[in-house]
Structure 1
Amino acid sequence: MAIKDAFNKMISYFDTDGVSEVEEELSSKKQEEPVTKSQQTSRPNQQQQAARASQPQQPKQARPQMQAQQRPQSQSRAAYAERPYQGQSQARVSHDYNDRRATSAPSASSRREQYQHAAHQEQTTIALKYPRKYEDAQEIVDLLIVNECVLIDFQYMLDAQARRCLDFIDGASKVLYGTLQRVGSSMYLLTPSNVSVNIEEMNIPNNGQDIGFDFDMKRR
């Protein structure tokens, strides 16, 4: 029995050593596994950090290039945008100049028309008449009605007919506020009210007779 107990003790001793060794191996393995896991986890983290560190450097290097490329594009766009604006400004200037020219041209033409119209109104017409019969006196009065001056020459009429014509014309001139003036031996000037005539005094034969009748008129 004593031998068996000693033998069992020896077996148990060796068993405990093996168990302790196994436990030590297991504990060492457990310690190694976290280390390896930590190393494995640290390695991806280091790789990610290295990748992150390398990634921002690329945009930093690419940004100046992109900026350098964008600057000419922006400048070209600005120049292209300025060109239409310059063209529009030139078109506006030419349009304004054409408008001013168009407005000034009618004003100049209207001024000419007004000047011509005023000159036409101020223009005075003198008609020269050689009455041969009494009925011609009515035509002379009609000219006075339209504000025309009439220079009458009685050289082709008899004395009696000339007196009748002068009487008729003199009465019509007073009604129409005209004037009848003798300007020659057989010539008389009939003027409307808006025309004044200054005649120098002349030595006319038989000037003292009534209304200036001249009995020395030419006859035919």
Structure 2
Amino acid sequence: MSIKNKLKSYFTMDDEYEYIEENDDQKEEDYAPVAAKQKRNVVNLASVQQQNVKIVLCEPRTYGEAQEIADNIVNRRAVVVNLKRLDNIEAKRVLDFLSGTIYAVDGMMQKLSSETFLCAPDNLEISGTITESIEDHVDYNKGW
């Protein structure tokens, strides 16, 4: 092969591939099942992000720490709050503040014990209940 032919083939981009022509007679209906199959394989990114769930344990000593707890709830983390180190007045203020935060993010709060609460944002579902003593389950009409 001469230099002239090499340069010509290099710059003209002659392909040595065979081209296969497809029939354009196929209707769009033939492609519909393929499109339907492809739609089933689409994954919602919101559902993937919900799998990363964190639970934060907090034991505030002052009312000022309620803001940090609320920030965790707003950032879609569940928080277990132990109020044993607070006096009753400050504990009530913290609960009031957190209940407002929970309402704002459409979450829910559940009492785990007399001074422990679970605060969960809307991406976490809470099911079941915890009772403080066996007396809550006693049915006095049946004797047990």
- In structure 1, which of residues 111, 128, 131 is the aligned counterpart of residue 57 of structure 2? 128
Contact kept? 1:185, 1:204, Cα under 8 Å: no
The 4+ residue runs of structure 1 with deviation greater than 6 A are none
Greater relative contact order, per chain length (Cα 8 Å cut-off, separation 6+): 2
1:204 & 1:160 partners in 2: Cα distance? Answer: 25
Provide the residue aligned with 2:95 in structure 1.
166
Could you say what secondary structure the match of 1:135 adopts? helix
Unaligned runs of 5+ in 1: 1-113, 208-220
- Aligned-residue CA RMSD (Å): 2.5
Give 1 or 2: higher helix fraction: 1
Question: How many residue pairs are counted as aligned between the two chains?
Answer: 91
Structure number with greater Rg is: 1
Quickly say closer, same or farther: Cα 1:183–1:201, change in 2 above 3 A: closer
Give 1 or 2: higher strand fraction: 2
- In structure 2, which of residues 121, 131, 135 is the aligned counterpart of residue 202 of structure 1? 131
- In structure 2, which of residues 89, 100, 108 is the aligned counterpart of residue 179 of structure 1? 108
Identity of aligned residues (%): 27
TM-score normalised per structure 2: 0.56
Contact kept? 2:112, 2:130, Cα under 8 Å: no
1:187 & 1:178 partners in 2: Cα distance? Answer: 17
Deviations 1:80-129 (A, max 9, x none): xxxxxxxxxxxxxxxxxxxxxxxxxxxxxxxxxx9xxx766412100000
TM-score normalised per structure 1: 0.38
Mapping 1:13-162, distance limit 5 Å: 121-162=50-91
Could you say what secondary structure the match of 2:53 adopts? coil
